Amino acid sequence: MNGLDANILLRYLLKDHPRLSPRALSIIADNACFVSRGALMEMVCTLESNYRVPRTDVRRALGTLLGLDRVTVEDRAVTERAAGWYASGMDFGDATIAAASHGSARVATVDRDFARLARKLRATPPVEYALK
């Protein structure tokens, strides 16, 4: 099994490099692969910040990766929950933190938007604004 970093994922999805993109495709198509949540967070951040990819397209890219037969995603249930909250408007990093905190009583934050959106989406555990 090959662990994949965000650069391989980006070259695979963007198909933007004449030499690296075909190699990324070959690595993913010809091998069992593992993708960590960290690599996914880096990929999402890069797509949004550097490439200015719209959220709908980033959401589609996440769905593509999660749907690949030869790709194992770290803690799939947590990652899928985070991807769902991301699709509903939550920042992917925040969504991943909330989803990965599933055994906690709550998630504390000083980010009002995160707390407000998590409440609206009925995220569990609840995300609470810590500066009340």
Tell me the pLDDT tens digit for each residue of 41-67.
999 999 999 999 999 999 999 999 999
Is 118 part of any domain? Answer: no
Is 36 part of any domain? Answer: yes
Is 117 part of any domain? Answer: no
Number of compact structural domains in the chain: 1
- pLDDT-derived band of residue 131, with 50, 70 and 90 as boundaries? confident
Give residue 111's region: left, alpha or beta (phi > 0; psi -120 to 50).
beta
pLDDT at 56: 96
Is 8 part of any domain? Answer: yes
Segment (H or E) for 61: helix 55-67
Mean pLDDT of 18-24: 97
Is 61 part of any domain? Answer: yes
Write out the two tokens for 104.
Answer: 């906690």
Is 23 part of any domain? Answer: yes
Output the CA angle 21-54-30, nearest 5 degrees: 25
CA 47 vs. chain centroid, Å, equals 11
pLDDT surpasses 90 at 91: yes
Is 132 part of any domain? Answer: no
Is 111 part of any domain? Answer: no
pLDDT at 50: 96
Write out the two tokens for 22.
Answer: 């075909």
